[in-house]
Amino acid sequence: MARLPKPGGDNGNWGDILNDYLSQAHETDGTLKDIPQAKITNLTSDLTSIQNTLTTKADASALTAKLNTTDLDTQTAAKINDNTSATAGALSATIAEGVETATAAPLALLSPAGSRGLAICGDSNSAAGVTGAGGVGVYNLLTAPLIPCENHSWVGWATLAAGGRYHIAVHAATPSITPAQWNTNFLAGVIAAAPYAAVDALGTNNVGNLAQQIAALTAMYDAFDDAGIKVIVCSIPPSTASTADVQRLNRWKRITARERGYLFVDNYAAVVDPATGYIAAAFNSDGTHWNAAGARAVGLAFGAAVSAVWPDVSTLAVAQPSPADLINKPLLLVKSGFVPEDWTSLGYGSASTAVETVAGVVGKMFTVTQTVDGGVSTSGVVPLTEAFIPGNRYRVECKYFLTVVGTAPTQAVVRLGQTDGGPPTFCYLNTQQSVPLGTIVHEFVCPVQADYVYRMQMLMVGGGVGTKQGIGQVTVTNLTAAGL
């Protein structure tokens, strides 16, 4: 058999061995020999045999089927669930991880760009003072757009402290509920409402079982992450019955929020007595729940924490007339009788009224000051320039403050109410405590009702001498008409 010479061997025979080796493929003149036909036939047969044994490899016909244009078109259309023009339903679809088809969410429930609707996820401390709380369903403020903020509602105070950064879009809280029960009763509904962010204020109930709390809260966080909903984590308040358990859960919440990149808001710190670890006496109701003063402290602290990281996205009017809005003269520059021009007095008794310059407010503020202790009801309204359209989305914004002196008022309200005296569609807060000057924002989709004619109203009942209420830059916008 022809071979190459062996290194270190074949002494004296290298030339003969090399010539014999090269002669296998070369002619005597040095050219390559032709390959016999039999060899080619055998090679083809051998390759066919090899191909037939590689059954796990793709062959050309299989690849052709995968690359078939018609088949690709069909599969692509199935993936996007619509191979024609984009629709509002398709654009507002939410797609779960690992799911190929889209599930459409109603467009009216979504928070559009620049609009930060929050979903409040809570128990009795979050349910207190909120109309609609206590049920087993999600109370969607976008389609039932009353902000039901009584004096003892921290949610209402968070609204007043929003500073144009957010509005409350969904309220899902009921007394005595645990995080696991909340997931069962509320989680799917909140995700379907598609808020900008969900606020976790859960954990007081069943706080002694840390493992169960962690498992339920983790499941909730994962679900919001999968749905693309941001999360704000709130610590739970102090409790005289379970101080150590509260601190353990709050420590876990703080660390978890940091690890997941969530905003952490320390409700616990807003009302705790550092010397005891209990709710401070000024904020305490029963050792587990805060009172009205505690609700105010928590709501204002929440607003401050969010304002520190989110910019103001309000669209307050800065000029008049304002034909693009539903209130034509939002800056309240001229007083006419007891009220600004275009407003109507519903009674001011002995109270004094003014339009005055206030730092941080464009134009002027309409202010009402009680001049008699426990003064009479004061009320003024301004009509909207057009009727609400059912199904359209609206934003209501204004600057507002309340300074309580001496006797607290029994009511201090700014609301959007029906002109026929029907129930208000939009209400900021019914409070008896001072409200710092700030920007308040709410959005809602107009429901189908018998009367679509509304007016803005500022109302105060009672209050000590010097108690003062003010409103400015009153702006109502039809977001749907504006393409927002």
Tens-of-pLDDT digits for all 484 residues of the chain?
676 667 767 676 767 766 776 677 667 776 767 666 555 555 555 545 544 544 444 454 544 454 454 454 454 444 434 333 333 333 222 223 232 222 323 323 344 444 789 999 999 898 877 754 444 455 555 444 455 566 788 988 998 899 999 988 888 888 899 999 999 999 998 998 899 999 999 999 999 999 999 999 999 999 999 999 999 999 999 998 889 999 999 999 999 999 999 999 999 999 999 999 999 999 999 999 999 999 999 999 999 999 999 999 899 999 999 999 999 999 999 999 999 999 999 999 889 999 999 999 999 999 999 999 987 789 999 999 988 888 888 899 999 999 999 999 988 888 887 776 665 555 556 778 999 999 988 888 777 765 667 888 899 999 999 999 999 999 999 999 999 8
List the Cα angle 149/330/108 in 5-degree steps.
55
* Residue located via tokens 């409790």: 239
The DSSP bridge partners found for residue 176 are none
306-338 pLDDT per residue, tens: 999 999 989 999 999 999 999 999 999 999 999
Q: For position 452, what pLDDT does the model report?
A: 63
Q: Where are the domains of the chain?
A: 1-43, 64-103, 106-307, 335-478
- % helix, strand, coil for the chain, step of 5: 30, 25, 50
Contact predicate 475/321, CB 8 Å: no
- Tell me, which fold does domain 106-307 have in CATH? Rossmann fold (3.40.50)
Q: For position 134, what pLDDT does the model report?
A: 42
Looking at residue 358, the DSSP 8-state letter turns out to be -
Model confidence, pTM = 0.73
76-125 pLDDT per residue, tens: 444 434 333 333 333 222 223 232 222 323 323 344 444 789 999 999 89
* Neighbouring C-beta atoms of residue 297, cutoff 10 Å: 21
CA end-to-end distance (rounded Å), the chain: 87
**Do the two domains 106-307 and 335-478 of this chain adopt the same fold?**
no
List the Cα angle 303/308/311 in 5-degree steps.
95
Q: For position 303, what pLDDT does the model report?
A: 95
Strand order in the sheet with 117-122: 139-140, 167-173, 117-122, 197-201, 230-234, 263-265
Give the SS3 label for residue 54. Answer: coil
CA–CA dist 172, 123 (Å, integer): 8
Q: Dihedral through CA 150, CA 153, CA 156, CA 161, nearest 10?
A: 130
- Retrieve residue 175's tokens: 């007394």
Q: For position 294, what pLDDT does the model report?
A: 95
- List the beta strands (DSSP E) in 112-239: 117-122, 139-140, 167-173, 197-201, 230-234
Q: In terms of CATH, what superfamily is 335-478?
A: Galactose-binding domain-like (2.60.120.260)
The DSSP bridge partners found for residue 412 are 460
List the Cα angle 334/337/339 in 5-degree steps.
60
Assign residue 283 a region (left: φ > 0; alpha: ψ between -120 and 50; beta: otherwise): alpha
